[in-house]
Amino acid sequence: MPLAIFDLDNTLLAGDSDYLWGRFLAEQGIVDADTYEQENQRFYEEYKAGTLDIYEFLYFSLKPLSEHDPDTLAALHRRFMETVIRPLITPAARALLEQHRSAGDTLLIITATNRFVTEPIAEELGVPNLLATDPEIVDGRYTGRVSGVPCFREGKVDRLHLWLKETGNNLANSTFYSDSHNDLPLLELVSQPVAVDPDETLASHARFKGWPCLSLRGDRIEDCPEDQ
């Protein structure tokens, strides 16, 4: 079956779950609001600029997971899903997933955001396969460290190749949807790259390459505006 691969943040979601999780923690008083928001914003700007040090960011973003027990974290995430994430899932995003599901394609989300944040989102979207950055767990608790290769930039390609080998899937007739120039290594690898509400760098690259460009921000799947 053809593989339909989806980035998550600002692609299937009309927002960035990693950044918003940090903001949510600050709003809930779990982390110091001023300090955390300043660093959270800095890392987000570096991500958009393509200069993010993924290990520095993960040290920052995974630390709160190590400071709370699993039940507390699960309760926080349920509230996060209800108040923050579900409103960011547009009808257009669900429709795109359903198109591929109805066609019999194998659905896969691949995201740099950690698995704790993204696994419940993938379940909400009905996507059974998820490749995400894995937080380390020891004796049932998060350590604040990353396990294995972060699922970011070239790391997405490495993780995908490993998954293909483990599952017996392949990239024949594959499609990958993403909003970010950080995903160019994987976009260049698949049969059909698709830019979705892309950043300026990806939009320019997509125009040069003649790649399709879609918007999932509304009730229907639409072509990107001509000026994008």
Catalytic residue positions?
Answer: 7, 9
Q: Which helix (H) or strand (E) segment is 108 a member of?
A: strand 106-114
Cα end-to-end span (Å), the chain: 32
Q: Strand 175-178 and strand 192-196: pairing? A: parallel
Give the integer Cα–Cα distance in Å for 31 and 94. Answer: 33
Could you tell me the strand order of the sheet in which 141-147 lies? Answer: 141-147, 129-138, 106-114, 3-6, 175-178, 192-196, 213-215, 222-223
Q: Strand 129-138 and strand 106-114: pairing? A: parallel
CA atoms within 13 A on the CB side of 9: 25
